[in-house]
Chain A
């Protein structure tokens, strides 16, 4: 039985995890490599590194960190942030990334998904979409959720999957940061539209939110979150045990 994946996401700027972390016994760890090792040892099924660096120095630092992580952590690693060209794919894959997530880069250049899928395979290309309700419709937002592209979100996701995106991360801007559960309605619409794995993002505040997600939407394959893991509000081990108790397949 394939298990539902739990994926912590690390935002990295200038070589540090943004906002830091605050575990019991692991205060203020800001090294992405150490945090990745911690998560890998404590039940994470996969990791996402998101590069939110603006400078060239920061970018070089990010690839160093990636290489060091791939040297020490042996679970799948997805990298996103600043991926605009096939050369960007190449840069992070060479440093040990297994999958590459595209967001604004695909909006600016919709051919990117297809080009990357042809060169590296569908399994390597993850479409990350930030979506929000506007006048009753789901719209795609670019630039970290700041800019409404006007595109209908489900159509956009279907189009990218058609071009070769092998997985979809749906981040609902409406529920992101609210910590009152995932956006089940929006996720349902995505699951109905595509047949590739769907990763839910935005809104998890507690263990029960993940249980509700996988129970209500059995077609969702994974749950992604950041701060609730970093600040120890949800421990992945506890989450996995709760999933198993609820009959949701989990890797313990």
Chain B
């Protein structure tokens, strides 16, 4: 009898412990001795965690692979080129947009509360300075804005693009994927697509290897056979969005295929894309505000198209939902580098962190290390681009007891870890949360209608505030750049003038001393005016 009890006890005891823990799960969070005790959830250990931590394990930085992929990109580049990488169609030639050189007074700071860039470029790689200099000189500049759902639908970037294009020139909405596996609303472009099979980097496990090995930082790759079609149409939401003069369609055609491109309803051209592993660009100059791509024959993998002007600023929005930035490790460095050869990025923005934040968590050293890897990865893929790390945005959460919203309490901590990552990688950091706090923080955003009621996601109106502040920060750098350059030029001019004066003075003195030296001789010979005069008088 006693033994039977003992035998069953082990199972009964384990069950009782589990039930006890489940019961304790109903104890609400409380504070005692200054420590916060959370509700425990023993069942959570059973739920395979779909937490961020696990999702991030899908893509981890593999720099050896990166090296291999980059080497692959190099090898392809040095091959003799029997197969073109670029297919051109010039409908009407448009000259490069040339801007007048800016002067510092064009850039006089406007806002009171500036959030400046924190430039940690202590190694003087001057990548960011080069970006600013190009803006100041009116050269064409391309920005890759990589982010999460915070900037989905072109939030923030649409206003950033608008403001930069107004100041520094440029047109068009930039890069738009050919297809996205879910429906989104983007007010800066109209895209309709059909018959594609589209894969996302966030679910690259589900994608075939041919796709998985070829993902671009856009995060989406569409594969389609004959009949697959996408139509990109400019919209007039902002004055600089339409009247685009140049389009680039980026695709891979592993076997020879035929695609047709339609501009509007009348202009049509068919391209036979010879089979090759490289990313190819169909480059179109002309009226490209309504452009259609259709696969006629064969099969292509299409990244998307970029609608732009010739010259000025182009801003590409690469938002991938619930990406913490780690998805970049799932993209192909070969593809990134090849596309960079076409588009030439000057700035890569990393806007992440919203999904990684946990209420009250103050340590993010693991994430900091990941941000470092992201920066290193982006630097390697885009060798000419400066990297800008944006701090996490402000976020409030609902208190389960009081039903009131309170600060999540980890924005500052995460921001400081992101800053530390930027610092150690010698790149530029910009504190997004400060901009929001200058406006009164998340509650003010919600009450002004600038953010959703979840106290997490801002809307277009909120994005505009952040875009304004970011533009101001850029303009301030351009201003200081121009000002320093003008100052330097002024000082140089003054120095030159001074030198000139010196030289003239010296020449004069030299002349005078020579004259003084020869005067007595001339006198003695009697050739001087004086002598002549005397002679005349004597006559």
Chains A and B bind each other = no
- A residues near B (Cβ < 8 Å) are none
